Amino acid sequence: MGPRVVVTDSVFPTLEPARQVLAQVRAELVVAERPEPAAVAELARDAEALMVTYMPITAELIRQLPRCRIIARFGIGVDNVDVAAATQAGIVVTNVPDYCIDEVSDHALALLLALARRLLPADRAVRAGVWSVSALTPIHRLRGRVLGLVGFGKIARALARKAQALGLEVLAYDPYLPPEAIEAQGARPVGFQELLERSDFISIHAPLTPETRHLFNEEAFDKIKPGAFLINTARGPIVDERALLRALESGRLAGAALDVLEQEPPPADAPLLRREDVLITPHIAFYSEESLVELQTKAAEEVVRVLQGQAPRNPVNPEVLSSSQPQSRR
């Protein structure tokens, strides 16, 4: 029998794309019935690979995986994986940073256009029997307005190109990129405060880290350009929703479009759900039929590489690969 690969949790209608890739190493693919630590630990005790979607992979769980060589995330962010604990254990963590680029950038642009053209309030007004332009004013021309991107990775760059085609000026804040890398994409590199002060639309594309958690807090909203719109297709906790609500109630923000929230799904009485100036979609920006196949395939290919003794293409903790630490745990 080949190596055991355990899927902790899955949102996919089928795991056949991953199964086909893993067949290269004759892997035994096992799916946990419940995404619970005890159940997964029991199932994965002899596993050489773990594949995870949303389940938290804690240090305690990692300690119970003596043979695990790779934790492969079905996704881009790895905030649900204790990467430090995995590194300490000599386990490489991988993600798939180059899938759903078209989908998320398209979704962010769709949210921007819906806010700019006030599509939801217009639809609601017509359904309520109100056929009026004055009920929807003001609406401003898009060309010449400013889009600020927080984070300038692959998705943000794709969005920048699409926004520039519509006549938007693009600013970008990314402290991990040299200014020339941003300028090469036709965007202007700026600091976070300048982005807040100048942008008519702000779209978030940063990972969730201790530094970005509640990056958009009361202090940030106090500096934001009056009448701006906020778009978030990254991670919900980057935005402090209480501070966001106050910015909307005060009129500082003209509206927000959120594909991600601090709590998913939100409680039925969440204040943001009652606001007509907030557009919310259920964390679907990543989704297309094609992106699901791409995601599974690329995540499984990383598992195959590691099980064959090769380096993965997208290690989150590459220091594990060059570590001289003894591999007695495997």
Average of pLDDT values for 194-198?
98
Shared-domain flag, residues 257 and 188: yes
Q: Kindly state whether residue 329 falls inside one of the protein's structural domains.
A: no
pLDDT value, residue 323: 65
Predicted local distance difference test score (pLDDT) of residue 326:
39
Residues 93 and 25 in one domain: yes
Two structure tokens written together for 264: 């998913």
Q: Are residues 60 and 177 in the same domain?
A: no
Are residues 47 and 155 both part of a single domain?
no
In a domain, 330, yes or no: no
**Residue pair 218/190 in contact by the 8 Å Cβ criterion:** no
192 belongs to a structural domain: yes
Residues 127 and 253 grouped into a single domain: yes
Structural domain of 232: 101-280
Question: Taking 80 as the threshold, does the pLDDT of residue 12 lie above it?
Answer: yes
Q: 64: domain CATH number?
A: 3.40.50.720
pLDDT at 300 over 80: yes
**Contact at 8 Å (CB) between 152 and 202?**
no
Rg of the chain's alpha carbons, rounded to an integer? 22
**Given pLDDT bands bounded at 50, 70 and 90, which one contains residue 324?**
very low
Residue 326 lies inside a defined structural domain of this protein: no
**Catalytic residue numbers?**
235, 264, 283
pLDDT digits (tens, 9 = 90+) for 91-149: 999 999 999 999 999 999 999 999 999 999 999 999 999 999 998 999 999 999 999 99
Burial of 310 (0-12, 13-18, 19+ CB in 10 A): exposed
Residue 1 has pLDDT above 80, yes or no: no
- Asked if residues 293 and 267 have their Cβ atoms less than 8 Å apart, the reply is no
Domain membership flag for residue 43 = yes
- Give me 19's structure tokens: 């199964």
Give the contacts of 227 (CB within 8 A, at least 6 positions apart): 200, 253, 254
Say how far apart CA 75 and CA 98 lie, in whole Å: 9
Tally the domains of the chain: 2
CA distances (Å), 211 to each of 83, 179, 208, 220, in order? 16, 20, 8, 14
In this structure, the answer to whether residues 146 and 79 fall within a common structural domain is no
Q: What's phi and psi for 111, nearest 5 deg?
A: -65, -40
Q: Burial, 238: exposed, middle or buried (Cβ in 10 Å; 0-12, 13-18, 19+)?
A: buried
- 145 lies in the same domain as 263: yes
Average pLDDT over all residues of the chain: 95
User: In this structure, is residue 204 part of a structural domain?
Assistant: yes
| CA–CA distances in Å: residue 277 to residues 230, 258, 272 | 11, 11, 9
Do 159 and 294 fall into the same domain? no
Same domain, 249 and 296: no
Say yes or no: 109 and 91 in one domain: no
